[in-house]
Chains A and B, each alone.
Chain A
């Protein structure tokens, strides 16, 4: 265990479903992130939350909606997804020390399949 826990590990959903991915960390980190890993592509940044405020949105479609209720929890709400949204979704957290991000701690990811 890395200290960043993602649930569920696997998710199959239909295009009309609504589901949520959950990420939790108790490392005392002050920033949390959602990344997407599609086949043969690099990890793509989706959302950044620093001190519970969203700081970057990277033009992600509105069918993905993040929520960060506190510094330990991060959600990704999914609605009306497309098959091409099938991917591994990774959550990460980090701590800023004197202006430097000292490295992410990643969760194990949620493998999402949209049918």
Chain B
């Protein structure tokens, strides 16, 4: 069974500031690492899927890095905006294809105007 841990649990950031948070996962039998954004009353939305050690992905002001050897991923948000307020979920799976994901509890991000 995988244990995916995310920190911090919640975070308040001033609008315009940059921030980052962490996901840690077991590095053995690693296959892929996913990040999702989940806004209140909406569906979780896929941000990134990463598989290779050293992967870096970017989508607008949001980027993510992956270290599979030590088992962690960082999500960065540059110049936070109120619309970035959401819960950010990290998930990992140890098999390929259609295997289910093991999710962390998420980081709840609140951007203060």
| A interface residues with partner B (beta carbon < 8 Å) | 2, 4, 30-31, 33, 35, 40-45, 48, 50, 55-56, 58, 90, 94, 96, 99-109
Contacts and interface: CB of A to CB of B under 8 A. Distances in A.
B98 A42 contact: no
Contacts of A33: 100
A35 B92 CA distance: 15
B interface, over-half SS: loop
A74 to B, nearest CB: 13
A97 to B, nearest CB: 10
Interface string B46-66: 100101000000000000000
B43 A108 contact: yes
Nearest to B102: A45
Contacts, number: 75
Given A42-B103, A94-B98, A101-B97, A2 B43 contact: yes
Contacts of A45: 100-102
Contacts of A41: 105
**Interface SS, A side:** strand
Interface of B: 4, 32, 34, 36, 42-46, 49, 51, 89, 91, 93, 96-106
Contact of A4 (B32, B43, B51, B98): B43
Most chain A Cβ neighbours within 10 Å, of B45, B100, B105: B100
Closest CB pairs A-B (n = 6): A103-B46, A31-B98, A50-B98, A45-B100, A43-B103, A106-B43
